[in-house]
A = this chain, B = another copy of it.
Amino acid sequence: MLTNERHEYILGLLDQKQTIKIQEIVDDTGASESTIRRDLTELENRQLLVRVFGGAVLPGRNLSEPSISDKSTRNLEEKIKLAKYAASFVQEGDSVFLDAGTTTFQMIPFLKDKDVVVVTNGLTLVDALNEHGITTYLTGGLMKSRTGAMVGSQTIQALMNYRFDLCFLGVNGFHPDYGYTTPDPEEAAVKRLASTYARKTFVLADHTKANQVSFAKIMDLDGADLIVNEIDRHMMEQLEKKTTVKVEKQ
C-alpha cells in the first residue's frame, strides 16, 4: 500500500469514526506500527488530525483536548504548590497583575484574604476571582479563543493606566541565554509591558519549562525573579548568574 493511499485511508476512517486507534490502522492496512506512527505524525503536522495517546482524533475542540497540546493539567499538583509559594510574596493591599495561564490561576485561592486588587488579561481567571470575592480589573482587548487571553493594542493601552506592586507571569520556557519565551508574540508583548509597570515581577515555571525555548521572547532572565520548584544543581548555578531564583521547597 502506497504512502498516500494509507494517508487517504486514515483520514477517511477518521472522518467516519471521529476517533481511531493505531492498532486498528495497523490491522487494516497491514503496515507496521512504526509506519503508521510516522503517518500520524505527518498528518498531524499538516493539521489534518490530532494525535492522542493510543490513536488520533479529528482536529477542532471537540475531541481533541486542550490539555494534550498544552499540558495544562499535567503537573497540577506541582503548579498548585508553586502558586501557593508565589502567593506568599503578596502583601496585604497590594495591586497585582496576574497573567493568563494555569499556574497564575492556581494562585487565586491564596489571594482571597489579602485584600488585593487584581488586574488580569486572562478570561479563564475571571470566574475564580469572582468566586473568591477579589476586586478585579480586566484589561480588555481581543479575545484569543485558544488561550482565553486578551491581547492587542487595547490591552496595551489599558495597561498604561495601571501600576502594580507585583506582577506574576506564566511562560512556556526559560533558558539562560534566550530568556523567558512563549508561543504567541502578542501575548509576549502584554507580559513584557505588564512587567515594566510593576515594582517587582515574578515568573512562575514548573520543571518542564527548564531550558525550553518558545517562539516569542518576553524578556531576559534578569527582567523577573524566577519561581520554580525543582531544579538540578548545574541549571541552578547557571540561572543564578542571571537572575534571582526562588525555589519552592516541598
- A interface residue numbers (CB < 8 A to B): 2-5, 7-8, 19, 21, 42, 45-46, 52-55, 57, 62-67, 72-73, 76, 123, 126-127, 129-131, 133, 135-143, 145, 148, 150, 152-155, 157-158, 161
Contacts and interface: CB of A to CB of B under 8 A. Distances in A.
Contacts of A137: 140-143, 152, 154
Number of copies: 2
Contacts of A161: 153-154, 157
B140 A154 contact: yes
- Complex A-B, nearest 10 residue pairs according to Cβ-Cβ distance, in ascending order: A140-B140, A45-B73, A136-B143, A62-B127, A138-B140, A130-B145, A4-B52, A140-B158, A139-B140, A2-B54
A129 to B, nearest CB: 7
A136 B142 contact: yes
Contacts of A54: 2-3
A138 B143 contact: yes
A21 B6 CA distance: 13
A130 B76 CA distance: 25
Contacts of A45: 73, 76
